[in-house]
Amino acid sequence: MSLVAPHGGGGLKPRALEGEALAAEKARARALPQLRITSRERGDLIMLGIGGFTPLEGFMTRADWEGVCREYRLASGLFWPIPITLSSKEKIEKDVALVDPESGEALATMRVTECYKIDKAKECEAVFRTTDAAHPGVAMVMAQQEYNLAGPVKVLSDGGFKAKYGALFMTPAETRAQFEKLGWSRVAAFQTRNPMHRSHEYLAKVAIEVCDGVLVHSLLGALKPGDIPAEVRTKVIAVLIEKYFRPGTVVQAGYPLDMRYAGPREALLHALFRQNYGCSHLIVGRDHAGVGKYYGPFDAHKIFDQIPADSLQTQPLKMDVTFWCYRCAGMASGRTCPHGEEDQLQVSGTQLRKWLEQGAEIPAQFSRPEVLEILKDHYR
């Protein structure tokens, strides 16, 4: 048994340079026009660098963009659920250096092969199923500049993720090597942008019961204001793994993307890049990658049945909402607990934040004491 193949059927295609080629390209970058990119674009670029978006070589052409919006396909015919694009205020039709929005560091060079305009509302309607500016993903697309630039990139940096997160920032080649070392072939990815409470522990453990192991894969890029920062989340996850999981059943890692909140389409992207990381399954919970009330609770389940069966090798592990049930006297889900809401300990993010801010007593059935300790520290 071996790991799933990277998307597109070939090997991993990391766009990052190394060694002498890297030094030479860094020197060349200094002489190129500088384009300051956005946080989301930076995440996408680093992902291209480490091979997470295999087999993409750079930002999408207009034909790719059109095909992805309309029918989930690149111009080449390959399945792809969300546009990976770069925007620019000015028309650029030559090589350019892509520059970090905060540090000013040159992150990549790009050979611009096409400069085109898009109908942003059309992208939003297709990808987010709404053009409501209150949707954070829509707001992000509508804030893009006038032109989109297409072309292959040579990536010069990891954007500082390795320095900030150390061994947690694993490339797809690194997770694959780790899985092989552990003898895994059936690997479930647990996508997370939150600390892990017992409900998340339960999802991961169900996956461990039926797979060889789980990749707990934290988003390290930006999300909504007020969310818990990645350094706190990954610390919480580390203590949970140490105290409540068996050695050799979990790998923790992080990936550099920002959230798009595209619900079902983002669930497909989550599965696609997990295939590159070597995961055969993706845990897809209730309202996966959703925000507000834009998506039905199981839209991200259904979409996997609506795409052609050969679109992805990585398959969803579809799960319902999970919680402690006092009558079951155990963890359960909307699929396994027959009791009423009054018996189920379901805690909203807002409620939890209030408890943590007030230093209130939080039920052990909701979260492990070691986890709550770290979160309380963060809120103090």
Token digits for 374?
């770290």
Question: Known catalytic residue: 335?
Answer: no
What stretches of the chain adopt beta strand conformation (E)? Answer: 34-36, 58-59, 86-88, 96-99, 106-110, 114-116, 147-155, 187-192, 213-219, 250-255, 281-284, 315-318, 322-325, 330-333, 344-345
Q: Closest distance between a copy of itself and the C-beta of residue 208, in Å?
A: 5
Q: Which of 156, 223, 312, 337 binds a copy of itself (CB under 8 A)?
A: 337
Which residue out of 28, 111, 186, 194 is catalytically annotated? 194
Segment 175-234, which members bind a copy of itself (CB under 8 A)?
198, 202, 205-206, 208-210
Q: Which of 70, 243, 302, 354 binds a copy of itself (CB under 8 A)?
A: 243
Distance CA 326, CA 332 (A): 10
Number of H helices, E strands in the chain: 13, 15
245 binds a copy of itself (CB under 8 A): yes
Q: Which of 77, 104, 225, 247 binds a copy of itself (CB under 8 A)?
A: 247
Q: Which is nearer to a copy of itself, 169 or 202 (CB)?
A: 202
Q: Phi/psi class of residue 358: alpha, beta or left (left: φ > 0; alpha: ψ in -120 to 50)?
A: alpha
Q: Closest distance between a copy of itself and the C-beta of residue 206, in Å?
A: 5
Distance CA 198, CA 168 (A): 22
Neighbours of 368 (CB within 10 A): 17
Q: What angle do CA 308, 314, 318 make, to 5 degrees?
A: 90
Q: Which is nearer to a copy of itself, 242 or 377 (CB)?
A: 242
**DSSP secondary structure string for all residues of 1-56:** --PPPPTTSS-----B--HHHHHHHHHHHHHSPEEEPPHHHHHHHHHHHHTTTTT-
Q: What angle do CA 196, 197, 202 make, to 5 degrees?
A: 95
Q: Which is nearer to a copy of itself, 134 or 210 (CB)?
A: 210
Q: Which is nearer to a copy of itself, 16 or 337 (CB)?
A: 337
**Amino acid letter, 238:** A
330 binds a copy of itself (CB under 8 A): yes
Which residue out of 193, 286, 353, 368 is catalytically annotated? 193
Q: Closest distance between a copy of itself and the C-beta of residue 151, in Å?
A: 41
Question: Known catalytic residue: 148?
Answer: no
Token digits for 194?
């939150």
Token digits for 244?
């409540």
Segment 278-317, which members bind a copy of itself (CB under 8 A)?
305, 317
Q: Which of 296, 365, 374, 378 binds a copy of itself (CB under 8 A)?
A: 365
Q: Which stretch binds a copy of itself (CB under 8 A): 24-32, 176-184, 231-239, 333-341?
A: 333-341
- Active-site residues: which are they? 193-194
Give residues in contact with a copy of itself (CB under 8 A). Answer: 1, 198, 202, 205-206, 208-210, 243-247, 249, 305, 317-319, 328-333, 335-338, 364-365
